[in-house]
Amino acid sequence: MESAGQYDYIIIGGGTAGCVLANRLSQDQGKQVLLLEAGGKDDYVWIHIPVGYLYCINNPRTDWMFRTEAEAGLNGRSLIYPRGKVLGGCSSINGMIYMRGQAQDYDAWAALIGDPSWRWQQVLPLFKKSENHYRGANEFHGGGGEWRVARQRLSWEILDAFRAAAAESGIPPSADFNRGDNEGCGYFDVNQRRGLRWNAAQAFLKPAAKRPNLTIMSGCQVQRLRLSQGQQGWRCAGVEFIGGGRSWCAEAASETILAAGAIGSPAILQQSGIGEGAHLQQAGVALLHALPGVGANLQDHLQIRSVYKIRGARTLNQMAHSWLGKARIGLEYALLRRGPMSMAPSQLGAFTRSDPGQDRPNLEFHVQPLSLEKFGDPLHAFPAFTASVCNLRPTSRGSVRIASPDPLAAPKIAPNYLSTAEDRSIAAASLRLTRRIAAAPALQKYAPQELKPGVMFQSEAELAQAAGAIASTIFHPVGTCKMGRADDAMAVVDSQLRVRGIAGLRVADASIMPAITSGNTNAPTIMIAEKAALSILTGK
């Protein structure tokens, strides 16, 4: 095993959080920083063209190619489970939607873990720090940061009609989902720059890479953390990894920070002998430090894709159905960086409540001027729109567990979607709400006809069953190394993101969320990395 040297900080994972951490920690020129990434460089052309997510997801060049276990709540189906395997991580392959969640999400975290520094008013400056918003700096947004937030470069008649129908159904228009209360309907803001994807590698890593104290090693698969035990207990001394066909070890004089995501971080801890004893024994890994919460508490947003056939409006289905249409789309993008090739996967959003008893919006719609049978299939030949809706705060909990001592083997991912009566009831309510919006006056000129799930499903039990047949992940796994109080046996990290019982080791990514945020999870991950860097550098 060859030595890769000694560093002050070792960051494992060059995804969204890892890029932020590498930038912030390397600003101190007196500190040596190593960033390890299992994937390659973000130089694949389809990463940067917004519509290129179609070619990045389920592509081994950019995706870990995970799948879930067969899910009882999905009628026995297994889903693809995309995770970015490239510099920039999921920010290189995701939907580019900039969404912080709701103020109450963070206030609830702070109450749960007993640390007021996680309240909305305290983390808002961290969101603003990295933000470069198209509106400029104001009470809610930053204007000089690395993370570009842009207005979308197109609109659609059918989406405008859906927004009007939502207003007629009690969901008011919204011009900004990121002020702490995201209730309403409007076009999403996106992480783009002049019609190109703006990923974390471009934003944070590219400028930091010029610093001589930052070493970036891509194509490096972590095998395990190096743990040593002394009179004060366990300490993480560094990491062992494979890269370039050779085995390496690197030492961390100060800290090792896991930023491998909600799937990678718990898997690396488990491969290192940190986790629940019976599970590790079953996987063939010796238990070194018992933390039963590692890999537990998996939460994700499950979206239910309702499809409506329409007439009298242009949708992407017709535009992309002919070679001439495709040529026009390509030419518009080449000349203007506009049009369907600049599209985020979802353009219009809506946040609302499944019932009046909800204290804040618990449903999110992603509405698209297109339709298809499933991800990766061709678009339908007829005009249609898709109104996907997800339960923002599911009560179902799943797990991530390694299956063997082989670090290259995929872990078992079991989200346990729709495993609670509450989640099934909300799924049925969300489908009923979608039908009410589709039946509102503003959409009637387009004669919407429900194709999925189909009007034959009417009772709550039938709708919940139908939801299980058509729903898919919206790619927001969190919570598998959750933070919590000292008396929470399932907490993996404390409120400063330090792994319980192991000095010199932190986790800083979406896995630390005790509860999933009410919206897309990339922006909260950036905030978490900002907060971790601040804690590391200042001790606060």
Give CA–CA dist 293/352, Å, rounded: 32
Contact by Cβ (8 Å): 218, 241: no
Pair of tokens at residue 117: 């520094």
Contact by Cβ (8 Å): 174, 399: no
Contact by Cβ (8 Å): 505, 258: yes
Give CA–CA dist 255/499, Å, rounded: 11
Contact by Cβ (8 Å): 402, 56: no
Query: Which residues, 6+ apart, have CB-to-CB distance to 331 below 8 Å?
Result: none
Residue type at position 188: F
In the residue annotation, 289 being an active-site residue is answered as: no
CA 512 to chain centre: 13
Q: Enumerate the H helices of 52-156 as residue ranges.
A: 53-56, 103-113, 120-130
Phi, psi of 10 (to 5 degrees): -115, 125
**519 burial type by CB count under 10 A (0-12 exposed, 13-18 middle, 19+ buried):** buried
- Considering 133, 279, 380, 476, which one is annotated as catalytic? 476
Contact by Cβ (8 Å): 287, 277: yes
Q: Of 26, 405, 2, nearest to 10 (Cα)? A: 26
Count the neighbouring beta carbons within 10 Å of the beta carbon of residue 306. 28
Q: Of 198, 127, 140, nearest to 174 (Cα)? A: 140
CA distances to 25, 124, 175, 539 from 535, rounded to whole Å, are 11, 16, 34, 5
User: Known catalytic residues?
Assistant: 476
